[in-house]
Amino acid sequence: MASGARHNARMGDSASAKPCLFCEIVKGERPAHLVLDSADAVAFLDARPLFKGHTLLVPREHIETLPDLPEHMLGEFFAHARRLASAMEAALGAAGSFVAMNNRVSQSVPHLHVHVVPRNRKDGLRGFFWPRHTYASDSEAADYAARLRAAL
């Protein structure tokens, strides 16, 4: 299936198709704590973070998987991921970061997204059994997003 066909199928050209959650965030139709808002990509806090500050980076355009990402977008997209990984250390005092992506299998939203997660030694993340942490409040999440934005 061509990437344009995937785009149409996911975006809901028919009444029965589900709209893309991440496209709704990109368009401002669904609330999210934005960390990065650029011409080609958006990053926002994960609603179910592994650790506070866990950020999802998505292309503005609806692209389902990494193999579907056009060559001309690859460099800039991953430059954003690199900046986010650096921001985890600068803004949150993390010792490092975990950067990951799923393609179809375990991809909870069928819109390309890169997880950038702050990491510290002995933080409890082991293999692929990941604890989830929640923000105490919406204002705490907003504070994390603001700190990361400032570090970018």
Q: Which two tokens stand for residue 76?
A: 């800039």
What total of structural domains would you count in the chain? 1
CATH number at residue 95: 3.30.428.10
Query: pLDDT digit string (tens) for 65-80?
Result: 999 999 999 999 999 9
41-45 vs 96-100, strand pairing mode: unpaired
Could you say which DSSP state residue 12 is in? T
Nearest by Cα to 25 from 48, 52, 59, 73:
59
Cα–Cα distances in Å, from 18 out to 92, 101, 127?
A: 35, 22, 32
Verdict on whether the full-model pTM lies above 0.95: no
**Cβ atoms 57, 41 nearer than 8 A:** yes
Domain interval for residue 61: 3-151
Residue predicted with more confidence, 97 or 106: 97
pLDDT tens figures, 48-104: 999 999 999 999 999 999 999 999 999 999 999 999 999 999 999 999 999 999 999
DSSP string, 28-66: TSS---EEEE-SSEEEEE-SS-SSTT-EEEEESS---SG
Least confident of 4-8, 41-45, 97-101, 108-112: 4-8
